[in-house]
Amino acid sequence: MTDNFRGALFMTLSMAAFTLNDTFMKLAMAELPLYQVMIVRGVLTTVLVGGLCFYFKSYRFDFPRKDWIYIVLRALGEVGASYFFLTALKSLPIANLSAILQLLPLTVTLGAVLVFGEIVGWRRALAICVGFLGMLLIVQPKANGFNEATVFALISVAFVTLRDLSTRKMSKAVPSLFVTLTASASVLVFALIWSLGHAWQPMSMAAWVNITLAGFIVSIGYVLSVLVMRIGDMAHVAFFRYTGLIWALILGFFVFGDWPKPMTLLGATLIVGAGAFTMWRDRVLKQKRAKL
């Protein structure tokens, strides 16, 4: 099994895990406040990942200062992404939100240019512009559908971009499970602070089941998402992020009865096409450099 094959498999599985987590969280948030859902899920996730860290002896603190900076940045990205994404998820259909998140390969490329000074040619720059045009078709700024939830979805993309860029810059000396644990614990601490002064709501059996399933599944997604960014050629692996949109369309339709409007599907097609072209172009350039 090659690194590229493992990376593609991990990406596909992580997208399935995160989409299932989104489904269970959306069901739970229909009857409970967000901070309460985040705390209950956060406790489950942190305990599960902490147990895995202990079992695999992944607790380490002797990292270089540079790695600690990226660990902290990634944790901040995870906190921001969790809050804004889940807030948007309460109001937006899963498929619409997933379509917006397909911007990530493009925003990661753009972030690498702005933050790390990487060079992007005119072809990839044009693809990024096309991808953002697709985003505008989805959110429709001048239409009645553009609301606070849509803004939160776009902000969550920025935080996930920060998270992914930070993960890519870490050295391989940092255990993936430790990175996952810091992210999960950070989200839990944020939710606990947020809940101060707020009343908790009684939880039904359905809510417990939904949050428990979400906690188990998102733990798997966390671990896989870290492994994905550190295994294989990203130009090859990142393409499989788009499987998340397929999962979102299926679950959104069968669980919530939602199906995107034609304009949303057109925007998603532009985003996926632009992202696929960007990744193909990345691979071509890497092959050219390897021959030099």
**pLDDT tens readout for residues 113-140:** 887 777 778 888 898 899 889 988 888 7
Q: What does the pLDDT read at residue 69?
A: 94
- What is d(CA 174, CA 74) in angstroms, rounded to the nearest whole number? 13
* DSSP code of residue 30: T
Angle formed by the axes of helices 262-291 and 94-101, nearest 10°: 30
243 vs 229 pLDDT, higher one: 243
Average pLDDT over residues 79-100: 94
* Tens-digit pLDDT profile for residues 215-230: 999 888 877 877 776 6
pLDDT band at 76 (very low <50, low <70, confident <90, very high): very high
Among 47, 35, 40, CA closest to 190 = 35
Question: Residue 60 phi/psi, 5° resolution?
Answer: -145, 145
- What is d(CA 19, CA 225) in angstroms, rounded to the nearest whole number? 13
Residue owning tokens 């498929």: 95
* Tens-digit pLDDT profile for residues 17-49: 999 999 999 999 999 999 999 999 999 999 999
Q: What does the pLDDT read at residue 153?
A: 94
Return mean pLDDT, the chain. Answer: 88
Q: Is the CB of residue 104 less than 8 Å from the CB of residue 157?
A: yes
Residue 66 exposed, middle or buried by CB count within 10 Å (0-12, 13-18, 19+)? exposed
Q: What does the pLDDT read at residue 233?
A: 67
- What is d(CA 77, CA 207) in angstroms, rounded to the nearest whole number? 27
Q: Is the CB of residue 48 less than 8 Å from the CB of residue 216?
A: yes
Count CB-CB contacts under 10 A for residue 263: 13
Angle at 278 between CA 281 and CA 221, to 5 degrees: 120
Count CB-CB contacts under 10 A for residue 122: 7
Q: Is the CB of residue 28 less than 8 Å from the CB of residue 214?
A: yes
Domain ranges of the chain: 3-291
